[in-house]
Homo-oligomer: A and B are copies of this chain.
């Protein structure tokens, strides 16, 4: 009975550690982002206020009310996918290509939101459509994950034939999975994006991770600005990148959370199982 109660305590302590670590991680992150970003945002705000003040000064007979109304119309437009460019007004219309991108971004739960339904009908349809479509996408990606794991188990068998120990094989296969995936899905694509989207390498890296992790802020989205020269196979490459990249990162996060969970268990057991002996 005492042993059982000790274990109970161990599990309670583990839970508390997890909760504290979890809350701490969130609070720490919030603080760091604040420190990193606060000046830049202030700068952006000031440049907007300056631009507005300059306009008011040059055209003194614009009433503040008129300007306000214009600003609101424009804000609303920008939020709804209308982007004034230098020589033309870029317009994220619901053509089939954009609609397909929207659907793919929704069902993978990336949800960039560069266009999103505005009509009540469209919004309600979106709920029902995603309710069935997300599980369907999960099945599809599980199916792709089998295709990814096949060469990995092949590598494992090869290493076994060479005479490696089971534990070593596990670590090698894991490293191979991590390094190859990191190269193909995260580190190399930004080189393409620099060319096709005009982003810096760092921006491309940020986009790649934010997309494949299904966070999808929508601050960087592929193929919005039409001026760039893109190869005809670019859409196909992008679809392949999303399909395999999303699968790879899902596997990685699953693996990573299992390792974290195990470490947590080991740590609490080492400390509390020793007192048991």
Contact = CB atoms under 8 A, between A and B. Distances in A.
Interface residues of A, number: 120
Main secondary structure of the interface of A (DSSP, over half): helix
Contacts of A45: 77, 82, 89, 91, 93
Contacts of A123: 202-203, 206
A99 B26 CA distance: 10
B40 A202 contact: no
A203 to B, nearest CB: 7
Interface string A167-211: 000000000000000000000000000000000101101100110
B205 A124 contact: yes
A140 interface: yes
Interface stretch (A1-9, A102-110, A150-158, A268-276): A102-110
Contacts of A213: 109, 130-131, 134
Interface string A40-62: 11101101110110110011011
Given A136-B25, A140-B22, A218-B218, A118 B70 contact: no
A119 to B, nearest CB: 5
20 contacts: A18-B143, A26-B103, A33-B94, A36-B125, A38-B93, A40-B122, A52-B70, A58-B62, A68-B84, A71-B74, A71-B84, A75-B78, A111-B215, A111-B218, A112-B113, A116-B219, A120-B200, A135-B253, A135-B260, A136-B257
